[in-house]
Structure 1
Amino acid sequence: MYNNVKPIVLDVTKFEPSKETIRSPFTIEDVNATERARQEAANEVEAQYVLKPEIGQNRVDLIRSIYDSAIELQDELMELNIQSQVENTEEELDVKSPTLKEKVDWLKEKLTENVIVDLSNSTLETLVNSNKLDLTIAKDAAVTAVNNVMSKEILNSEVESARDRVEEELRFVSIPENLKIATIELARYAITQNYFYDPEKTEEMRQQAEENVDPVYILQGQIIVEEGQLVNQKIWEQLELIGLVNTDFPYMPFIGLIIFVSALIGVIYSYFNENRRNETTHKELIIFSVILVTSIVIMKGISSIPIKQYDISFVFPAALCAMLMKILLNDRLGIIGTIVLATSAAVIFNGQSSGSFHLTIAIYIIFSGLAGIAFLSNQNQRSKIFQAGLFVSAINILVIIAMLFIPNTKFSVSQYLIYGSMGIFSGISSAVLTIGFLPFFEAGFGILSTMKLIELSNPNHPLLKKILTEAPGTYHHSVMVANLADSACEAIGANGLLARVACYYHDIGKTRRPNFFIENQMNAGNPHDHLPPETSRDIIIAHAKDGAEILKKHHMPKEIIDVAMQHHGTSLLKYFYHKAKESGKEVREEDFRYPGPKPQTKETAIISIADSVEAAVRSMKNPDKEKIETLVKNIIKDKLKDDQFSESNLTLKELKIIEQTLCETLHGIFHNRIEYPKIKEKGENNARN
């Protein structure tokens, strides 16, 4: 992808006329111009100040407290005077009244140290010598004046003018002149600064002003310098910003591309690492990689076609990757592959757009790929692939029309028809290439395709003939289990054909000792009646391993071998286990369990259920609807409690659907027969008549 992101370097010299008109290939922010504009906006913001009303209230309370202290002193002096008069009358003594200095000292005791220091002695003397009524009038006037002045904003430089205003308000108060002078001094003392510089708010306003400045962009297609125009410092900075005059190795696009590709690989790795199971995961990773790389190679080839009149990227078979991955792997990998391919296309096809990424083609590939996956979700036939291609073509046309209409692009009818034809070609070519590639992937990676499964289901297959001739009861049992498993798999969207074919071979291990399995005994004696339970256990358990060995010997697909090995999981041979316990021996439950592993796929788990259900129903006498439903429900419940489904990804909802499907299928097989009345012979009827 590097040549798709490598910037073009132009032959331009600083402070010389440009040899050509240069336009910006993409939209980018002019960081220097934006920073200058923001700085200018911040400088225009004035310093912010904040009014602190609590300061004004505190100064009003201070003035009120000073007057209240003076009034309180007057009350104390009056009470002291009355008490002195009473005492003088009784004892006829001459008691002196407190001196002015003593009164002032008493008042100072009621005030704080800083107030005493700031007020003159004459003001304090006036307060202690004034009567209570005048003090009350002076207090009200001073409080009102101070409150009026302090309620307004006062800077440090405006304190003196504010004191003059409060003095003007008190100049015409009707109180004695000496008290008026003291009141004015107190009011001027109370006035102080209440409007302060707020650095945080100032900085906040400046930041807000900077944020309100829109970034300055060099727009895509904008002329940076015209032919013959002098390349000045500003133009040179813009050219450097875009990277059109950088003579050094363009390492930034290279690093960005490395990060971009690493992220895509990281997504793929994280999925496969999180979902790793066995060697199957490695095969899936290889298939995924081959499909993805093949699609990218096709994409790269199309991007190299030198056509400028039209966006040739729309002819790319966008659904090829998704459809192949859906058929060969699964839906989830198909979606992941589609997303990875779409992001890659945004870079590879960027020559068809004026930016670094062609986002339109990315959206186009995502819609096209998801359409292919959605159409094939419940389709297993190869013939449906071409129908999927037609469906993808229709979706492609809709997406192309939307992508052309949204930017209000003005095209002629012929241009719209050409782009629509590209969408049709993309969808059909996706289907054709999918059909063409499938046999190579199936043969090269040993994938169990539909055609292979149909071939294995042929009754003339040597192994099926072996089962039919050597263990006919097992063959019939396998066919019945196949019918049950197929219907259950189809009900939950699993691979019913795989389940059916696997059922045909799942008990092939019984052909080594057919007479030890009840379906093959044909009213003959049961040899297990004469064997210890441990020997019987070994014979029964061995059929799973024997079957896997036979299938491996005949080079059967791994999926079929896995079913033969896993269809009993680690379940318990209850009959022989209890038989061993009844003999009085000390036995362990683990010794009478199949070695496993547990079913690893939904299909194997369903076969496990169908196998148990068919054997149980076959052994029932007069099975009816209620008995069958109870039996199926109990078998599923027992396997669920025995933790046999923990590795198969089956959900409880799917188990419920499986239960209902099995019951419906069994009802069709074991439906009640109509009992016809016996026909009496003609002679007997005539005699009775």
Structure 2
Amino acid sequence: MNRNGTSKQGNAGTAVAPGWRQSPAVRWMLMALFVLLFYFSLAPHVIPETYDITEGAVSEKDIKAPFQIRDEKATRLAEEEAAGRIVDMYSNVSLGNESLVEQILFRIEQLNMDDQVTKENKIQIYRDEIPGRYVQHIDSFIQSNRKTGTYSESLLEEMARVAKAQQYTIPEETFYKMPQLTPEQLQEMRSVARDIVRKLTSEQLREAETARMQVAELVNASTLSSRTEREIVQELARFSIMPNRFLDEEATEEAKVQAKQNTPPVVYNEGDVIVKRGETITADMYKLLSDSNLLQDKRHYWPQAGLLILSLMSIIVIYAYLHHSGGLGGAKPKYGNSQLLMLWLIFFINIITMQIIAFTQTDTAPYAGYLAPAALGTMLITLLLDLHLAIISSFLFSIMGSVILNTQPNQLFDFKFGFFVIVVSLAAVFSIHRASQRSTILKAGIMVSLFGSASVMAVLLLTEQLERMPFIYSVAFAFASGLLTAVLVIGLMPFFEVTFGILSALKLVELSNPNHPLLRKLLTETPGTYHHSVMVGNLSEAAAESIGADGLLCRVGSFYHDIGKTKRPNYFIENQTNIENPHDTIDPKLSKSIIVAHARDGVEMLKAHNIPKPIRDIAEQHHGTTSLKYFYHKALKQAEEQGIEPAFTEDDFRYPGPKAQSKEAAVVGIADCVEAAVRSLRNPTVEQVEAMIQKIIKSRLDDNQYNECDLTLKELDKVAQSLKESVIGIFHSRIEYPDDAKTKERTN
């Protein structure tokens, strides 16, 4: 036995058949229950609900999105609407209108200065050449910008098309007036024409005609005095004015693409109603539900298979640890089905508490999940079962917490909650594993609060989630989680102790309180036995711990092992103060009956006070089936004196047993004999103590008293060494050391 192992075995109820606790069939049933617990507790969070509906039918209930679902068709329509709202994009491009009018006037000046060309030829040249300069100017501009890549090809083509389409036609009579112009006139005209063209093309022009209509007014307001000059400048200015604002198809398309990209997708968030109760299932709705795998006839079984594998892996981890630690094997396994059932119940309670907290979470308050008492399970496992099993369970609770408390759409696990659960669970394990008082649970709860708050704070800082109120709420809820865990553990511990007959360290410490009614009775009615029991407790605790047994159980068991002596206290030598020994005047067989009855009486008294079975077992088994040799030999002597043949054997003077079934019962039995034997010695030496301990152990070993417990010879040697050291320490002033004995001999 050990404190976190079989010492916690007890009666889980008298109505169940005794063999169920070690039945392999029951064990496998419990393993299957673990798988079902893991599967069905996680299924609502990872497997969406499916619906048996048909297109055109009326929905009998609200169909809600189990996770975020994107409506592709509605999203495409929204994108097209956004793109449709984009107006055509235009680019402003100056085509160099001023340079065109200057080139024309410069050409007129050159040609007019040439006397070799007749007036008729000049008119013909102007008629043929000037209109073509418009197209040449546009083509030259396009070619130049195509090389530099300043504008897109589509925009350049649009420029050429629009500008050429809006070319102005110079009246025929204008060409006849051009040969008359002198260089002075042309110089004056060049300045005026350039200014007019610059002014009118400085504004955005999609239609050149708009600006051309203003040319006459500006020319009339100019400094030109000659009518011919004004007419020619007016026509050339109109000819040189081109549109400078062009439709940019590429920019328009890019803006539409950008608008589509910026359009948020149409989604149903987790919990949103897709189809309302009483609503007709349209073709679009049916397709959406089908694409989201929410229809039974379209159901995919991969998530179920994945969850089943995860559940099996979880129970394999538990089974592997239990098997590796020897908890499920051997004649007396450390973990019976009672412990497995209790472990399942702890997992169930811990998962249920996380599920309850998960219901309080919302999209705006996901931090409510930190209130979950996630360390509840590991605390209970540490206190009632085993520390290492609690550590293994912590990782399983972490996985479950990251799924159950997950608020991230389209994510299977939420790292924040998984990290929080593992931190608080491990903090609970290492804070509570040496608990000896109920107040230790509260202290452990405070440690869980501190570590939980620190873990939440660390994650929020790392992810830069620093909004003031959510940050404060998250840390505060994590702190409250530890306190809530401590309260629940304190409340649940009595339930497990009573239901499963658990003898936890906390329960043992409570039972060792001298104010317990039985211990008060022992102290007041049999002070000698009380002192003997306390001494046996000191000896047995150290001896048990030396072989890895439960020292605390041995100490407390020793306090109660002779409680049956309170029924007839005067018949036991340690309580016979200033009185005659009653056994001197009664029959040895009666003396034997009185002595052996104290074990049976003790068990009955312990049962009446609901003392756990492991302590009752120590009271019943600490003498085993040993012989009361003193009374046996006294009976033989009386028979010899009476001259009659004894009608009894030595077996008639034995305790009824049973023999020690555990290491703890065996150790208490040895310590009981050793303490009584040492007390009977007046001036014991170290050699006498060591020989006496070896004699007691050998006598019991030869009497087959340890055949039914798993004590080894090596462990018996350790017990003997521990008892020797403890006896020397307790009775130090009475025991003579070898050197002291030799000194006395020389003195004598």
Q: TM-score range by the shorter chain?
A: 0.5 to 0.7
Secondary structure of the residue aligned to 2:540 is: helix
Q: 1:383 aligns with which of 415, 439, 457?
A: 439
Counterpart check, 1:620 vs 2:620: no
The one-letter code matched in structure 1 to 2:607 is K
3-state secondary structure, aligned to 2:671: helix
Q: Structure 1 pair 364/643, CA: closer, same or farther in 2 (3 Å)?
A: farther
One-letter identity of the residue aligned with 1:476:
H
The Cα of 1:525 is off from its aligned counterpart by 5.3
Please give the alpha-carbon distance, in whole angstroms, between the structure 2 residues aligned to 1:634 and 1:242. 80
Aligned partner letter, 1:479: V
Q: How big is the shift at 1:544?
A: 2.0
Note closer, same or farther for the CA distance 1:393–1:665 as it changes in structure 2 (3 Å cut): same
- Look up the match of 2:46: 5
* Equivalent runs, 1:520-669 vs 2, <5 Å: 520=575, 524=580, 527=583, 540-571=595-626, 594-601=655-662, 603-632=664-693, 635=696, 662-669=723-730
Residues 592, 302 of structure 1: CA spacing in aligned structure 2 closer, same or farther, 3 A cutoff? same
- TM-score, length of structure 1 as denominator length: 0.53
1:134 alignment counterpart: none
SS of match in other structure, 1:308: coil
State the secondary structure of the residue aligned to 1:304. Answer: helix
Residues 463-484 of structure 1: CA deviation (Å, up to 9, x unaligned):
4565557655433322322343
Residues 1:431 and 2:481 are matched in the alignment: no
* Cα deviation code 1:603-636 (max 9, x no counterpart): 4344223212211211223124443345445545
Of 291, 296, 304, 2:359 maps to: 304
The structural deviation recorded for 1:382 is 1.5
Q: Which moved more, 1:645-654 or 1:385-394?
A: 645-654
Q: Deviations over 1:339-367 (max 9, x none)?
A: 54334334423444643344664454344
Partner AA of 1:604 in structure 2: A
Q: Would the aligned equivalents of 2:543 and 2:722 in 1 still touch at CA under 8 Å?
A: yes
Q: Hey, what does 1:68 align to over in structure 2? A: none
Cα distance, 1:581–1:347 mapped onto 2, change above 3 Å: farther
C-alpha separation in 1, matches of 2:533 and 2:464: 65
- Contact 1:623-1:670 within 8 A present in 2 as well: no
- The match for 2:427 is 371
For structure 2, the 5+ residue unaligned runs are 1-40, 51-64, 77-260, 267-288, 737-748
Instruction: Give 3-state SS (helix, strand or coil) of 1:334's partner.
Output: helix
Is contact 2:361–2:368 with CA below 8 Å preserved after alignment?
Answer: no
SS in 2 for 1:19: helix
Instruction: State the alpha-carbon separation in 2 of the partners of residues 589 and 278 from structure 1.
Output: 35
What pairs up with 1:251-262 in 2 under 5 angstroms? 251-258=301-308, 260-261=310-311
Indicate conservation of the 8 Å contact 1:284/1:329, yes or no: yes
**Partner amino acid, structure 1, of 2:45:** N
Residues 361 and 367 in structure 2, CA contact (< 8 A), matched pair in contact too: no
CA–CA distance in structure 1, aligned partners of residues 524 and 443 of structure 2: 43
- What is the match of residue 540 of structure 2? 485
- CA–CA separation in structure 2 for the residues paired with 1:563 and 1:497: 13
Partner of 2:678: helix, strand, or coil?
helix
User: 2-side partners of 1:453 and 1:303: how far apart?
Assistant: 37
Kept in 1: contact 2:460–2:466 (CA 8 A): no
Give the whole-Å Cα distance in 2 for the aligned partners of 1:257 and 1:17: 28
1:508 offset after TM fit, Å? 2.8
Contact 2:293-2:299 within 8 A present in 1 as well = no
Whether contact under 8 Å (1:482, 1:503) holds in the other structure is yes
Q: Deviations along 1:300-349, whole A, 9 cap, x unmatched? A: 12222333365654432222111123223443553454354334334423
TM-score (norm 2): 0.49
Task: Encode CA deviations 1:489-540: one digit per residue, 9 max, x unaligned.
Answer: 67788766654443232123334555654434557458489856x7766654
State the SS of the aligned residue for 1:672: coil
CA distance 1:560–1:528, change in 2 (3 Å): farther
Cα deviation per residue 1:230-287 (whole Å; 9 max; x = unaligned)?
A: xxxxxxxxx9999578853444434554555466567768958658969995654554
- Contact residue 666 and residue 706 of structure 2 kept, 8 A: yes
* 2:686–2:735 CA contact under 8 A, matched in 1: no
- Using a 3 Å threshold, how does the CA distance of structure 1 residues 575 and 361 change in structure 2: closer, same or farther? farther
Change (3 A) 1:549 1:244: closer
2:23 equivalent in structure 1: none
Q: Quick one: distance in 2 between partners of 1:334 and 1:631?
A: 43
The 2-side partners of 1:289 and 1:452 are apart by: 22
Alpha-carbon distance between aligned partners in 1 of 2:712 and 2:416, rounded to the nearest angstrom: 39
Task: Indicate if the aligned counterparts of 2:431 and 2:444 stay in contact, CA closer than 8 A.
Answer: yes
Aligned-partner residue type, residue 613 of structure 1: V
Q: Does the 8 Å CA contact 2:683/2:734 hold for their aligned counterparts? A: no
Equivalent residue number for residue 327 of structure 1: 383
Residue type at the aligned position of 2:466: S
Cα distance between partner residues in 1 of 2:533 and 2:732? 20
Q: Whole-Å Cα distance in 1 between the matches of residues 299 and 652 of structure 2? A: 70
Q: How many residues in Structure 1 have an aligned counterpart in Structure 2?
A: 457
* Structure 1 residues 265 and 622, CA gap change in structure 2 (3 angstroms): same
8 Å contact kept, 1:624–1:671: no
Instruction: State how far apart, in whole Å, the 2-side matches of 1:453 and 1:674 are.
Output: 33
Give the Cα–Cα distance (whole angstroms) in 1 for the partners of residues 567 and 349 of structure 2. 47
Paired with 2:420 and 2:656, the residues of 1 have a C-alpha distance of: 50
In structure 2, the CA distance between the partners of 1:661 and 1:571, relative to structure 1 (3 Å rule), is same
Contact 1:4 1:351 in 2 (8 A): no
Distance in 2 (CA, whole Å) between partners of 1:313 and 1:438 is: 24
Among candidates 322, 327, 346, match of residue 291 of structure 1: 346
State the distance in 1 between where 2:318 and 2:330 align: 11
Q: Distance in 1 between matches of 2:613 and 2:687?
A: 38
> Do structure 1's residue 248 and structure 2's residue 298 form an aligned pair?
yes
CA distance in 1, matches of 2:416, 2:573: 66
Single out whichever of 318-327 and 569-578 deviates more from structure 2: 569-578
Secondary structure at the aligned position of 1:379 is classed as: coil
CA distance in 2, matches of 1:334, 1:503: 30
Q: In structure 2, do the counterparts of structure 1 residues 350 and 453 end up closer, same or farther at CA, with 3 Å as the change threshold? A: closer
Q: Give distance in 2, aligned partners of 1:17 and 1:469.
A: 85
Provide, for residues 106-134 of structure 1, a one-character-per-residue CA deviation record: whole Å limited to 9, x for no partner.
xxxxxxxxxxxxxxxxxxxxxxxxxxxxx
Per-residue Cα deviation, 1:525-560 (whole angstroms, up to 9, x for no partner): 58489856x776665444322321233244443333
Once the 2 structures are TM-superposed, how far is the Cα of residue 642 of structure 1 from its aligned partner? 6.5
Q: CA–CA distance in 2 between the matches of 1:353 and 1:568?
A: 66
Change (3 A) 1:617 1:673: closer
CA, structure 1 residues 420+589, in 2 after alignment: closer, same or farther (shift >3 Å)?
Answer: farther
Measured after TM superposition, the shift of residue 565 of structure 1 is: 0.9
Rg larger in structure: 2
Structural mapping, 1:35-434, within 5 Å: 247-258=297-308, 260-261=310-311, 274=329, 281=336, 284-308=339-363, 310=366, 312-335=368-391, 337-352=393-408, 354-358=410-414, 361-362=417-418, 364-396=420-452, 399-400=455-456, 409-412=463-466, 420-434=475-489
Percent identical residues: 43
2:394 and 2:712 map into 1 onto residues whose CA distance is 27
Q: Describe the SS at the equivalent of 1:623.
A: coil
| C-alpha distance in 1 between matches for 2:436 and 2:44 | 41
